[in-house]
Amino acid sequence: MRHVLSVLVDNEPGVLSRVVGLFSGRGFNIESLNVAPTLEPGVSHMTIATSGDDQIIEQIIKQLRKLVTVIKVVDYQDLAVVEREMMLVKVQADDSRRGEVLRIADIFRCKVVDVSLVDLTLEATGNDDKLSAIIGLLGKFGIKELARTGIVAMRRSMQRE
Amino acid sequence: MELTGAQILMECLEREGVDLIFGYPGGSVIDIYDELSRHPAIRHILVRHEQAAVHAADGYARALGKTGVCLVTSGPGATNAVTGIATAYSDSIPLVIFTGQVPTHLMGNDAFQEVDIIGITRPCVKHSYLVNDISKMAEIIRQAFFLARSGRPGPVLVDLPRNVITASGEFVWPEVVHMRSYHPTYKPNLVQIRRAADLVLGAVRPLILSGGGVIRSDSSAVLAHIARSFHIPVVSTLMGLGGFPGNDPLWFGMVGMHGSVAANRAIGEADVLLAVGTRFADRVTGKVSVFASRARIIHIDIDPTSIRKNVNVDVPIVADCLEAVTALKDVLATKTGGRDRGEDRAPWLERLDRIRREHPLSYIRDGSLKPQEVIEAVCSIAGGDNIVVSTEVGQHQMWTAQFFTFTRPRSFLSSGGLGTMGYGLPAAMGAQLAMPDKQVVCIAGDGSIQMNSQEFITIVSNRLPVKVVVLNNGYLGMVRQWQELFFKRNYSCTNMEAQPDFLKLAEAYGAEGYRITEPGSLIPDLTRALTSPNPAIIDVHVAREENVYPMVPAGAALDEMILV
């Protein structure tokens, strides 16, 4: 089962290697990992997408909490959350294909952020399903480069009961 | 007050109550050693290898219950310490390890004697710090000691770049330690304690499994009170030996791979298992899916990750073991009004007693000198509350666990989790320094004693009357045993007949040497050696192909024991 974890950490040197080392050393899986500063100086926020059965996820959360530099861990599994990921994708688009690529970009509300005679670079934002759908559709034109941020997520203010 | 980094370190050590450190100098820590010479209150033991410095600090910490401290230089000094750090981490031993580091402006440049020791030790420390700013030094050292001994104890590494050691800065001692992200749970949840009490009181065949956490948290007396008040049998893990008196009739031995028949059967038959301060390691549980399969399990441990990591439990209690068993004792007393459960539990205790009588720990006496008999002899000559026994790792370790009667917590020092050969001799040295009035005996094999035998000179030069009993069978015995049982006696690379003359080795180091080859001379020669006021090596030539039994093959269920 896929889980998204929100992890607040002291932003000291080596904190990322402690977290990543914990996952690799104990054979836990990381699907994506995003790290960025928060409003509070010295504190960073990590969003980790991982997977495993209940017992594994419980261990991952406990092991993260055991790290001295980890301040807080929240599992978004049973919460209503907004999940977003951004992707840059450079797709082959010469004169004969450009129109079709742009139509797909339009359907998914992608932005064109770079263009040349032979390719287009699109910026897309969404959850995992949407980005996977875009990649699937653009695949037939030929994807030259792909960069994804990994998931960021936030708890919704209104939680269903 | 402006002080250098080295002076700040000394100030901090003195305020933490450190009076003994184990170490080895080098280029990156030369300024610290210079300063150390002006602080006679801190005794420094100069080991002969950094691994031994950490094991010695570990033995000191295990024997005394205080935090052990080491100081080593950068690069190879630090990497040599890694095995000791990993050993302490596996067994939850409080240590603070100071490593020298190249100056910060050279870090990352592959400078002379530079390694990323923070990176290398990351998976085997409780926490680590790089002191890159002298203004943070005192606070970091304070936190390091606090972390090492609080919660689930463990080793904490502090990396000290040379330019920080030589810099000057204001010394401010933080009176309180505030760490936003570190709050171990000490107090047990009382609802869970009541559930545990109900389970214990409702049990027909209750059993206490006492682990290393009982010793670390000084819970032995309270746990023993519960066991005796409610007539509950007790079994121990390897790390828990001494946590319940081995001469108490309620004690049924060690569990696990080389546990007693009674202890392993008790685990299988119990209906309620009260597990205290144990992480259910694979050597303890055997095949996990059938471990304690008839029991509802109460699990007390201070580390939340220990709970449901290996074994599913019914009543998890995250707490300091002492707080938890004290609360449990109180709730049990309230619920029963002190009513004795002796009659209800008599059949269970009688059953375990019968198993113990039918399957005692034993060996075949065939006239040759048996290693088990040597352990029994050491125990009969020097056993009791005044002895501390360390071991190396292998057959001799298991025979010591089986045939020596440990009556007191902190009297058995052994590398349980990591299984580090080379641990016993330096650990004995650390224990003797911690406990000058105790008799300290290291029980070793002829293989493992050679892994840190350079420390004989440290022992002799510090006039420590450590006794080393070498169970000499000319084999790496435990591996040979596995080869005999599981690899058709293909003794690949386990014959170690080529060995130093241990008598001459003793003489070369200035220790006393004894050699025992006949059963008849065992008691008199061993008595002479153990009562000598000097350090001694006792080379005992034992039956070469003796095996450790009972044995649960790796991955098998605890009741699938191979017997003598």
B510-542 pLDDT tens trace:
999 999 999 999 999 999 999 999 999 999 999
Identify whether residues B58 and B149 lie together within a single domain: yes
Q: What angle do CA B23, B155, B454 make, to 5 degrees?
A: 35
* B82 has a pLDDT exceeding 90: yes
The token pair at B53 is: 């410095």
Taking CB atoms and an 8 Å limit, are A68 and B127 in contact across chains? yes
Look at residues B60, B111, B110, B65 and name the one whose alpha carbon lies nearest to residue B84: B60
* B290 has a pLDDT exceeding 80: yes
Q: Report the C-alpha gap between B363 and B372 in whole angstroms.
A: 7
Mean pLDDT of chain B: 97
Whether B470 is in a domain gets the answer: yes
Question: At B234, phi and psi to the nearest 5?
Answer: -125, 135
* B187 has a pLDDT exceeding 70: yes
Identify whether residues B124 and B256 lie together within a single domain: no
Closest residue in A to B147 (Cα) is A68
Identify whether residues B58 and B164 lie together within a single domain: yes
Name every chain B residue with its beta carbon within 8 A of the beta carbon of A72: 181
Residues spanned by CATH 3.30.70.1150 within chain A? Answer: 81-155
**CATH (domain of B422):** 3.40.50.970
Of B358, B392, B412, the position where a domain reaches its end is: B358
The two beta strands, B168-170 and B206-210, are unpaired
Identify whether residues B333 and B249 lie together within a single domain: yes
pLDDT at A160: 76
Taking CB atoms and an 8 Å limit, are A66 and B304 in contact across chains? yes
Q: What is the mean pLDDT of residues B310-338?
A: 94
pLDDT at B564: 86
Closest residue in B to A61 (Cα) is B305
Query: pLDDT by residue (tens digit) across B2-37?
Result: 999 999 999 999 999 999 999 999 999 999 999 999
Identify whether residues B77 and B200 lie together within a single domain: no
8 Å CB contact between B350 and B333: no
Whether B551 is in a domain gets the answer: no
Q: Tell me, yes or no, if the pTM score tops 0.90.
A: yes
8 Å CB contact between A7 and A64: yes
Say which residues have a Cβ less than 8 Å from residue B236's Cβ, sequence separation at least 6.
B209, B210, B211, B243, B244, B251, B253, B254, B255, B263
Question: At B188, phi and psi to the nearest 5?
Answer: -75, 155
Identify whether residues B452 and B503 lie together within a single domain: yes
Q: How many helices (H) and strands (E) does chain B have?
A: 22, 20
* B115 has a pLDDT exceeding 80: yes
The amino acid at B488: K
In sequence order, what E strands does B392-549 have?
A: 412-413, 439-445, 467-472, 512-516, 536-541
Whether B555 is in a domain gets the answer: no
Identify whether residues B200 and B325 lie together within a single domain: yes
Which run of H or of E encompasses B514?
strand B512-516
pLDDT at B83: 98
Domain enclosing residue B14, as ranges:
2-170
Whether B548 is in a domain gets the answer: no
The two beta strands, B272-276 and B251-254, are unpaired
pLDDT at B339: 67
Question: At B496, phi and psi to the nearest 5?
Answer: -125, 40
Identify whether residues B354 and B375 lie together within a single domain: no
Q: Report the C-alpha gap between B556 and A77 in whole angstroms.
A: 37
Identify whether residues B52 and B144 lie together within a single domain: yes
Q: Does residue A56 sit at the B interface (CB-CB below 8 Å)? A: no
* B337 has a pLDDT exceeding 80: no
pLDDT at B338: 66
For A2-75, CATH gives 3.30.70.260
Number of domains in chain B: 3
8 Å CB contact between B58 and B85: no
Q: Does residue A21 sit at the B interface (CB-CB below 8 Å)? A: yes
Identify whether residues B498 and B405 lie together within a single domain: yes
Name every chain A residue with its beta carbon within 8 A of the beta carbon of B180: 10, 71
Taking CB atoms and an 8 Å limit, are B304 and A68 in contact across chains? no
Look at residues B360, B333, B150 and name the one whose alpha carbon lies nearest to residue B262: B360
Whether B180 is in a domain gets the answer: no
Look at residues B320, B293, B296, B207 and name the one whose alpha carbon lies nearest to residue B255: B207
8 Å CB contact between A84 and A113: no
pLDDT at B501: 98
**Cis ω before B550 (30° cut-off from 0):** yes
Taking CB atoms and an 8 Å limit, are B127 and A21 in contact across chains? no
Look at residues A65, A20, A103, A87 and name the one whose alpha carbon lies nearest to residue B184: A65
Spans in chain A with pLDDT lower than 70? 161
Identify whether residues B158 and B257 lie together within a single domain: no
Tell me which DSSP letter residue B498 carries.
-
Q: Report the C-alpha gap between B149 and B66 in whole angstroms.
A: 8
* B90 has a pLDDT exceeding 80: yes
Q: How far is CA B405 from the centre of its chain?
A: 16
Probe site for chain B from A68, A69, A70, A73 (most B CB atoms < 10 A): A68
Whether B561 is in a domain gets the answer: no
Whether B424 is in a domain gets the answer: yes
CA dist list (Å): A140 to A101, A125, A130, A143, B458:
10, 20, 17, 8, 73
Longest dimension (CA), chain B: 73
Q: Report the C-alpha gap between B47 and A107 in whole angstroms.
A: 72
Give percent of chain B with pLDDT exceeding 90: 98
Query: pLDDT by residue (tens digit) across B369-393?
Result: 999 999 999 999 999 999 999 999 9
Identify whether residues B196 and B164 lie together within a single domain: no
Q: Which CATH architecture has domain A81-155?
A: 2-Layer Sandwich (3.30)
Per the listing, tokens 């224990």 go with: B431
Residues spanned by CATH 3.30.70.260 within chain A? Answer: 2-75
Question: At B299, phi and psi to the nearest 5?
Answer: -125, 115
Q: Report the C-alpha gap between A93 and A110 in whole angstroms.
A: 15
